[in-house]
Each structure stands twice: as structure tokens, then as C-alpha cells.
Amino acid sequence: MSNWKLVRLNFGRNPTHFGETGIGLEQKSERVRSDTLFSAWISAYAKSFGKARVEALLEQFTNTAEPLFRVSSTFVYRRLGETFIDYLPKLVERPPGYMSDDLRFAKTFKKLKYLPKEVWQRWYQGSGFTLQDAQDLETYTAEPADKSTALAQAGCFDYAEAFKGYELPKVAIDRTTRATNFYHTGLIQFAWQPGKGTAPWGHEGVKNLAGLYFLIQFPDAAAELETDLMQALAILGEEGLGGERSSGAGRFTILSWEALPKDWNEIVSFTGGNHHSLVSLFWDDAIDLAWLGDSARYTLQERGGWIASPFSGRQLRRQMIRMFAEGSVFPKEPRGQLADVTPPEFIQADGRRVPHAIYRNGVALSLPVSLSS
């Protein structure tokens, strides 16, 4: 039986900078995807346990049918008192019961990129989209300030309250000519308020009101591996996740690392599904149209970026790759694999990767969903 964990990150007052391929440094995203999280995590693991240990770990991903663990992308949570509102990506496919006559609320529905967990579960594992949902969307379309509807009270329209973006002005100075270049860097600040920062809130003097969470699935109990990964994640929190780390961005503490609570366990163990929806990125070189089938609905995401290896001492671009994005739907459970994106400069004439291979995590993590035929 698989072993699931729910991990919450607390960024306190530290800003974040998570970029996306195709947009500039001044842009920002509020969350980090599974491949970036995996790469940063494995890099911290290598610093903690050495090259031999990390190569042995990666070999378990590349040479075995079942990887050591699967990890989701990070998603936003909001905290109301002692209650968490966890957001999940809205599926590419419309929920069962969605009405064809949607002109009065279609734009509002389209703008919803993430759903509170309880709404997501009802739409894709429960009763589906109802007439009341349509009326709630119509109400919000006509009067966004109206918080009396069920969708509004569930937090469906409050996703953006978890964070705010701002631009930080910076100056780059040429080392040779001393010429200056003025630019802005986009940062995200998760919601917080002053207060006694005692556990489980985290940072001293700060109560975190929002942050990021992710899921991990182990094929079976792996206490020693969990301990090692938790140690590496703590080190990653000290170094920072994402960009602008030299300015203090991306630093976090582990708010919780726990077994799934009852509501989450009901979602991952749902037995009435006929499709699977991604909560991570997904890549597999064996995918073809026959595997996808007629009912697959998906979006693609370009993934690239720079390597930051603790062993090479060089900064090089990874090879570009396209992956299936979160919210994509497939008729079969996607498995995925690591993608070899080693830059040409690391590839020897005999095919060896020196000083080591560079991988992008395409191992999939998905949730069962029930959709109309």
C-alpha cells in the first residue's frame, strides 16, 4: 500500500521568485512546479549526502519500474485560524453536469485556475457541477463583493488573497565599463501578520496566513528515506527555493510533514474514477496517440532553465523539453520518467555524461477523477 505525505512550507516574511520559461526576470509565479522542486531538492540532497549517494538515488528512478517516490507540484494554501484551504488545479476538462448554456458565467468559470479542495472534490469526485454552482458563478459575475454564496464561502474567489506581487527595483553595474542598467525583479509575498511566532506558525514574530504545500507518494513505508529527504528539504529551506536567493528570496521552514488527514485520504483513495488528473508535470518518451486515447485533455508546458550543479561549478542551459501540465486529464494513470536534459557540453564522444547527467523530473503524480463519457 502506498504511503502519502502532505508537506506544508512556511515562507514567513521572505519573498519568492519563481519564473516560467518564456517570461522575463521581472515576471513571477506564485508557485513552483514539480520538476523545479525535485531538481532543487536533489541538489540539496547531494550537498548533504555526497555525489555517490545522490547518484544511487537517481539510479532508482532511471533503472527501476517504480521510482522511490513521486512528488506533486507545489500549490497554494490559505490559513483561516486553524483551518487550511488547499487549492488544486482546475481540470482542463469541464466537470460533469456543466451546462452548455453558460454565457452568464463562462468568463468567471474560465478565470478560475485553482479550486478549493472541497469544491474540487465535489466537482470531480462527487456530485459534479450543479445548478447552485452556476447561480453562484452568476452572482459573483454580477457582484464580486457578494460573499454569501457557497462557492464564495469555500474560498473559490479568494485565491489571490493568499499572496501579493510587487516589483523590486535593482541596478546592474558592468564590471568593466561601470555602466549601469536599471531593471525590476518581480517578487511574491505570501500573506502574513505580526504575532507570536510559536509553533505551528513558524517564524518568530510572524503568523503565516498562506504558503505552499505539496504531496509525496512513496510506494511503501520508507522511514530512512523520509528522514533523509526531510533533512535535505530543511537545507533547501535555508538556501532558498527559486530565483533571487542572494537577496534572501525563497527561504522557508517546514511547517508540517505529516500523513494525509482524512479529507485528503478520501481524495487520493477515491475508487469511482474513470480518469486521472495530473497534480505534477508529466513526461514519458513512450507516449503515443494510442495511449492518450480520445478522452485525453491536456496542456503542454515548456521547461528549460539553467543548471546549478554543486559538482560542475558551471552554469549552462538545460535542453528544452515539453511536458504535460497540471490539470491535464488521461484515461489511464500516467507513470512518467526522468528526462535526460544534459547540455551538449557535458556529453562526451562515447556518450558518457561528465561530470554527471542532468535530469528533469517527468515522473507523474495524479489523482483519480470521475468525468462524463
Q: Which three cell numbers stand for residue 127?
A: 456530485
Which of the four pLDDT bands, split at 50, 70 and 90, describes residue 320? confident
Q: Which three cell numbers stand for residue 94?
A: 469541464
Which of the four pLDDT bands, split at 50, 70 and 90, describes residue 312? low
Name 215's bridge partners: 6
193 domain residue, yes or no: no
Domain count within the chain: 1
In angstroms, rounded to a whole number, what is the distance separating the alpha carbons of residues 4 and 133? 31
In angstroms, rounded to a whole number, what is the distance separating the alpha carbons of residues 138 and 104? 6
Helix (H, G, I), strand (E, B) or coil at 62: helix
Which of the four pLDDT bands, split at 50, 70 and 90, describes residue 341? confident
Which one of 44-53, 114-123, 298-307, 312-321 scores highest in mean pLDDT? 114-123
25: Cβ–Cβ under 8 A, 6 or more apart, which residues? 19, 183, 185, 186, 243
pLDDT for position 25 = 47
pLDDT for position 81 = 85
Whether the pLDDT of residue 367 is over 90: the answer is yes
In angstroms, rounded to a whole number, what is the distance separating the alpha carbons of residues 93 and 269? 21
Q: Where is 169: in which H helix or E strand?
A: strand 163-173
Give yes or no for a contact between 190 and 163, defined as CB atoms under 8 angstroms apart: yes
Q: Which three cell numbers stand for residue 269?
A: 483513495
73 domain residue, yes or no: yes
Give yes or no for a contact between 321 and 303, defined as CB atoms under 8 angstroms apart: yes
In angstroms, rounded to a whole number, what is the distance separating the alpha carbons of residues 307 and 314? 8
pLDDT for position 8 = 98
pLDDT for position 126 = 96
178 domain residue, yes or no: no
235 domain residue, yes or no: yes
pLDDT for position 21 = 56
pLDDT for position 295 = 87
CA atoms within 13 A on the CB side of 229: 19
Which of the four pLDDT bands, split at 50, 70 and 90, describes residue 116? very high
**Best CA proximity match to 278, nearest among 345, 368, 186:** 368
In angstroms, rounded to a whole number, what is the distance separating the alpha carbons of residues 163 and 344? 39
In angstroms, rounded to a whole number, what is the distance separating the alpha carbons of residues 26 and 185? 4
Helix (H, G, I), strand (E, B) or coil at 230: helix
3-state percent helix, strand, coil for the chain, nearest multiple of 5: 25, 30, 45
- 289: phi then psi, degrees, rounded to nearest 5: -65, -35
Average pLDDT, stretch 252-269?
96
In angstroms, rounded to a whole number, what is the distance separating the alpha carbons of residues 185 and 30? 14
In angstroms, rounded to a whole number, what is the distance separating the alpha carbons of residues 264 and 274? 19
pLDDT digits (tens, 9 = 90+) for 29-81: 999 999 999 999 999 999 999 888 998 999 889 887 889 999 999 999 999 98
Q: What is the DSSP string of 123-159?
A: HHHSS-S-HHHHHHHHHHHH-TT---SHHHHTTTT-G
Range of the domain at 109: 3-160+200-273
**Cα-based distances in Å from 34 to 267, 273, 282, 283, 361:** 20, 24, 9, 12, 7
**Best CA proximity match to 104, nearest among 146, 145, 133:** 133
pLDDT digits (tens, 9 = 90+) for 167-205: 888 888 988 998 998 888 889 999 999 876 554 445 567
Task: Calculate helix-pair angle for 51-62, 34-49, nearest 10 degrees.
Answer: 140
Sign of CA dihedral 157, 210, 240, 321: negative
Average pLDDT, stretch 121-129?
97
The DSSP call for residue 347 is B
13 domain residue, yes or no: yes
Q: Which three cell numbers stand for residue 188?
A: 511574491
Which of the four pLDDT bands, split at 50, 70 and 90, describes residue 23? very low
Average pLDDT, stretch 333-348?
81
In angstroms, rounded to a whole number, what is the distance separating the alpha carbons of residues 124 and 368? 9
**Best CA proximity match to 149, nearest among 127, 160, 129, 134:** 134
185 domain residue, yes or no: no
137 domain residue, yes or no: yes
Q: Which pTM does this prediction carry?
A: 0.90
pLDDT for position 24 = 47
Helix (H, G, I), strand (E, B) or coil at 360: strand
181 domain residue, yes or no: no
